[in-house]
Structure 1
């Protein structure tokens, strides 16, 4: 999927399959970056997590609650799994299905953080969980380099006019 058409197909596929928690697309960083940096009015709340990360697992329900709270607003929650591609069907898909996660889930297929982290969040050490809120059109970029607390994301989002 190197062309713009490939990205458009991925976006359509995400839209169709986001309701099916067992459908988790595997993406490269360039594809993820194109999805979350579109110059539109949507605020992207992107959480990087893993099934083996206890603080990540603890905060995941907050992101589904956020998705419900802002369902009528231009806020899109994306959960980016940092698990390995080889564990997609054995760990990630069952994890998402068993926890009934409704937010869009992607698996990032990148093994070397050093090749892409600075392009997205230079201040990120790579520790999980990590959340970034982005809106290219309004020049919003908010880094949260720790587990989020209940109500914390809502407080951040409400600072912006959406």
Structure 2
């Protein structure tokens, strides 16, 4: 009787560990860029979003689909949620939505310092998307209406 119970407990703990999404926290964009966006032969699609931004939440499934279907890109979802809501809001949101793309939290609120590192024209509005491809930065400050819209934007800029 003890073996089956142990096995059930072990599998439950192990499977939830696999399912749990790790969300790294970065206090500035330069550190995020160095740690997450530094592989030279990788094309990144970086989406800046927050749980409190309705258009951001609406388009997250399109980024998830892109992550699953387009093996030429790595999707990184950069949350701009508040640091004090990490445990109470962001982590439960990521788990509830079962996000499979890499999710990171950027807590640097000195926007004037790091927004120009992403794009000089960025007003700071979200959602916003950055493509890093072969030493190019392609940036758009908009919400994607559907997966086709996002996929077309990415495909056009990486081919």
Aligned to 2:50: 50
| Alpha carbons 1:45, 1:76 under 8 Å: kept | yes
Q: Which runs of 4+ in 1 moved over 6 A?
A: none
User: CA offsets per residue over residues 92-128 of structure 1, 9 Å max, x none?
Assistant: 0001111111110000010110011111111110111
Match of 1:11 in 2: none
User: What secondary structure sits across from 1:158 in the alignment?
Assistant: helix
The two structures have a TM-score, normalised by structure 1, of: 0.79
Give the TM-score taking structure 2 as reference length: 0.80
Does 2:63 match 1:67? no
In the TM superposition, what is the alpha-carbon distance from 1:157 to its structure 2 partner? 2.6
**Given that residues 18 and 102 in structure 1 are in contact (C-alpha distance below 8 angstroms), is that contact kept between their aligned partners in structure 2?**
no
Q: Which stretches in structure 1 are left out of the alignment for 5+ residues? A: 1-16
Q: Which has the higher helix share?
A: 2
State the shift of 1:19 in Å.
5.8
Are 1:139 and 2:135 counterparts?
yes
Specify every segment of 5 or more residues in structure 2 that has no aligned partner in the other structure, as ranges: 1-16
- Count the aligned residue pairs: 140
Structure 1 residues 18 and 121: alpha-carbon distance in aligned structure 2, compared to 1, 3 A threshold: farther
Q: Say which one has the larger Rg.
A: 2
Deviations along 1:33-80, one digit per CA (max 9) or x if unpaired, are: 22455362211100010111000010001110000111xx33110000
Equivalence for 2:23? 24
Measured on the aligned residues, the alpha-carbon RMSD in Å equals: 1.9
